[in-house]
Structures are given as structure tokens and as C-alpha cells.
Structure 1
Amino acid sequence: MVHRRRSLGQENRCQSCRHRSLCLPLALELEEVEQFDTIIRRRLTLRRGEWLYRQGSPFTSVYAVRSGSLKQVANEGGSDELLTHYYLPSELVGLDGIDEVIYPSSVIALEATTVCEIPFDRLEFLSERLPVLRAHLYRIMSKEMRKDLRVIRMLAHKTADQRLATFFIGLSERFRQLGYSPYRFRLSMTRAEIGNYLGMAVETVSRVMGRFQQQDLVAVHGREIHILDMHTLVELGGESGRR
């Protein structure tokens, strides 16, 4: 696993990051942000397909996505890999390794991606000194638990059409929070990866996407998605209570 280390110049500091308000330094005062910045070991750049860490390796750090996107995959007993999470800028990766002191899954770049590595022992120490940081870390963990629960419910109870609608709605919300268009975005995952995440065959993903286009719910051009009818898509996914 080879990573390229970027210079820690002013442009790479937390104060200049456009996602600062969504990441761990949220609500910290300037001096506290500077303290947080000092615990970041380095910024890593990954190419598409490059591993951030592998399943079973020792847990040492969590990572904040600065740009690009990542997927998390788990392999149980030699079976096929299961895609369990995907991460966008400002989101924290690796929290599931805290309990067992190993990473229970592997994380791989879906595209050219930059992450900030945050050694967990330093984060834990600083969180004890900065209650605001500790509280925000707890909120991030709680959000991850709710996300896991939504995925479990989706896989257990929703049809293929509902799953893909829910997937698009979730992406739309996350891009909106990042300050991007919630109606036009690019998929970094392939259709096979989307199917893996949603528990669907790739042929089913393509068929449902085609049906959505015929119904004028979305327009699809390669990996570019344009949501045309958000209201109907939300109703189809059974997500009206979330918006």
C-alpha cells in the first residue's frame, strides 16, 4: 500500500478546507482548530482502486475524507466481498475499528481521493480537553449507527425500485450538505458496486435505472445522474418523512 504525502501548506490546513463546517472541527474556536490541526499526521492521496487500509490490520487512526470518495468492503469466510459503506467528503472513516482494535473491513478509493489521517490516540486525548470536539465525535458515531439501521431496514423490507430510489435520495441529501447540487451529481460507484451495496444483481440495477428514465424520474448519462422528479422519487422510496 503506497500513499503519496502532500505538503502541509496553508492550503491543506483545516482552516482553509471547504468542508470544515461538516467535519470534526465543527464549532471549534480558531485556537482550538489549530490544536486539532496539529494532531493530523498527514494528508494521503489515493488513486482509484488503492487501499486506505485492509481488513484485519491494526486500528490506529480514523480518516476524514477531504476530496473524492471511498468504499468499504468486508469479506466473511472467503465469500465474495460485501460493500457495506461508501464515503464522501467531510465523512469520517474507520470508527468501526475502535472496539476490536482492528479494522473489521477494508476501505478502497472509488476515484482519486484525499484523506486526512487522524491518529485515534491523539484524537481521544484532544477530545478530553475539548468537550465540543468530544460531543461532535459522539454525534458522528450516532449518525453512523442510524445510517446502518436505515440500510438494514432497506435490505429487509424494500423492493428493488424502492432501494434504488432510496439510494439516489441519500446521495442527493449528502451532496446538498456538501454545498453541491442535490439534483445533478456523478456516481463514483459502478453499477455492479451499487448492486452489491443494495443487494441487487447488476442487471436489476440497470433495469430499474431504465424504468426510472422511462418514468421521467431521472436522466442517466453514463455515471451522471439528473433527478427530474424528486417528489415522486421520495414517495417511491418511502423516504417522505426524512425530507
Structure 2
Amino acid sequence: MTELHDVATRHGCVACGLHDVCLPAGIEGEALARVDRMTRDRRTLVRGEPLFRQGEVFHSLYVLRSGATRSTIADAEGMHQVIGFGSPGDILGVDGLLDEAYRTEAIALERSTLCEVPFARMEAALTEVPSLHRRMLRVLSGEVAADQDHLVAMGRQSAVERVALFVHGLVEKQGRLSRQGDWLRLSMSRADIANYLGLAVETVSRALGRMEETGMLQASGRTLRILDRAMLSAMVSAAPLRSQEKLTAIRKRAAMNS
């Protein structure tokens, strides 16, 4: 029996259904076997259980295999801001690389399983496995892109546009996981979504109601059914154009008054 088969039996990176979207994506052969060797056994969290707390010493990265998580950051007064939601294939704990302490808190929103990757083992492998090093850079780039997407959402003046952008992001994630994107089961509460988007809970509900009225989607509790993907995509892509038009109009008025 080959070594590659042995590690696949122990950890399952080779046969895992998330192979193409999580840490080993694009890594094959002995490099993949090495990723398997440095990955600890699965860890299971129940709903509400923390994966790590803000300020805890950083020691590992985690790959979410199933379930969902919510990441928050607390200010000096203890107020929590939701900054992201984890879904299968996501890598959690990257923020701990900055100063060797987790800067956020990650909580399971439902029963979740994760693979733990001790960073001390990964650090050694990064210098010896070029494909893993490139993959890690892509992971870090993904973190930056996610932060940028959040800033874009927060910059939208219309609550409907913010909610539409959020829903569109979930649809895209479903597609990357090869899941049916027309049905979304929200693991997070309306309060979590509102916190993430900087809106009131009632505003999120009204925004979803307006999207229902247009025939874009159908909302029932934590389940969303996307009825018109083209309309959803058009709203998301048209919003920056409208913002640019507003900016241009403001500049023109300022020039006329100067």
C-alpha cells in the first residue's frame, strides 16, 4: 500500500469533496501527501462553541469541512462586530499570522467539522513545497478580497443593494461548492446579517421583502429561493454605476458653484 493511500485513509485530503476549494487545491502527489501529514484529526464543534477567541495565542489554521461559522471582533467596550461568515472550504485563523494572536473570535453557527493545521508544521513545509507556498499566497489574497467586498457592501447607500450583494456572495459560494445555488439555507440570523452590513434587523427584513416584491427571490425564515439570478446580478453590478453617476453629479454641481 502506498504512502499516499495511507495518509488519504488517515486524513482524507485526496478523497475529500472540498479538495478543489480548500487548502490543498491545486496540490498533487507528494506535496499533497505532506499536507495530509501535517493536518491533525478532525475537530467537531457544536452550535455556539468557539473555535478560538480574540486574543488567544495563534497556533493553527483551520479548514472548515462542514457547517458554518461567524467571525467577530470586539472593541475596547466589548461591542462585537461581525466581519465574516465561514462556509465549507474556508480557512479560518489567518488573521493570527499578523502578531501571533487571533484578532477575531470564530463561533460555530451549527454543528461543524474542521481540519486543524498547526502552523509550525506548515511554516516548514512552505519553504520546501512551492505549490503549497503559492496556495497560501492565494489564501491570503482571498482574505484581502473578502475584506474589500465587505467594504464595497458597507459603501452602498441603499439597504437593498447591501443585502443583494450579500445574497449574491452566498450564491457564488454555493456555485464554488458545486451546490444548487437557487436555494440558500442561511446559517446566520437576520441579526448577524444586519450587524455585518451595518443595518438594523428590521431594515434587512424590509430589504428582503422588497426583493421578493420584484420577483428576485422568495424568503421563508432562513431559507431563500433565488427566482431571478439575472435580476440579482444586475442589481449588484449596476450599483457601482449608480454610485459613480451620483459622484459625477456632485462634482458637476461643485464646479458650477465654484
The alpha-carbon deviation at position 32 of structure 1 amounts to 2.1
Cα offset, 1:119, TM superposition: 0.6
Q: Quick one: distance in 1 between partners of 2:178 and 2:198?
A: 29
Q: What do the CA deviations read for 1:126-176 (whole angstroms, capped 9, x no partner)?
A: 111110110011011111101101211221234100000000100000110
Corresponding position of 1:155: 154
| Structure 1 residue 195 corresponds to structure 2 residue 194 | yes
Counterpart AA for 1:198:
L
Structure 2 Cα separation of the partners of residues 136 and 239 of structure 1: 32
The residue correspondences of 1:52-201 to structure 2 (distance < 5 A) are: 52-201=51-200
Please say which structure displays the higher CA radius of gyration: 2
How many residue pairs get aligned? The number is 234
| Native 8 Å contact 1:184 1:226 kept in 2 | yes
> Are the equivalent residues in 2 in contact too, given 1:111–1:188 (CA < 8 A)?
yes
1:3 aligned partner? none
Question: What residue is the counterpart of 1:227 in the other structure?
Answer: 226
Give the conservation status (yes or no) of the 8 Å contact 2:161–2:239. no
CA 62–33 in structure 1, closer or farther in 2 if over 3 Å, else same: same
Contact 2:69 2:85 in 1 (8 A): yes
TM-score (norm 2): 0.86
Partner SS, residue 168 of structure 2: helix
Provide the rounded CA distance (Å) in 1 between the counterparts of 2:36 and 2:238. Answer: 37
1:32-51 map, 5 Å: 32-51=31-50
- For 1:137 and 1:239, the matched residues in 2 are separated by 33
User: In the TM superposition, what whole-angstrom CA distance separates every residue of 1:158-205 from its partner, at most 9, and x where no partner exists?
Assistant: 410000000010000011000101211200001011101111110111
Residue 227 of structure 1, CA deviation: 0.6
For 2:201 and 2:218, how far apart are their aligned partners in 1?
18
Shift of the 214–95 alpha-carbon distance from structure 1 to 2, 3 Å rule, reads: same
1:19 equivalent in alignment to 2:50: no
TM-score (norm 1): 0.92
Q: CA RMSD in A?
A: 1.7
Give SS of 2:14's match.
helix
Contact 2:8 2:36 in 1 (8 A): no
- The answer to whether the 8 A contact 2:56-2:102 is kept is yes
Amino acid of the structure 2 residue aligned with 1:225: L
Q: Please tell me whether the aligned partners of residues 162 and 238 of structure 1 are also in contact (alpha carbons under 8 angstroms).
A: no
Structure 1 residues 38-66: Cα deviation after superposition (integer angstroms, max 9, x where no partner): 11122110011100000000000110010
Q: List alignment gaps of at least 5 residues for structure 1.
A: 1-7
SS in 1 for 2:210: helix
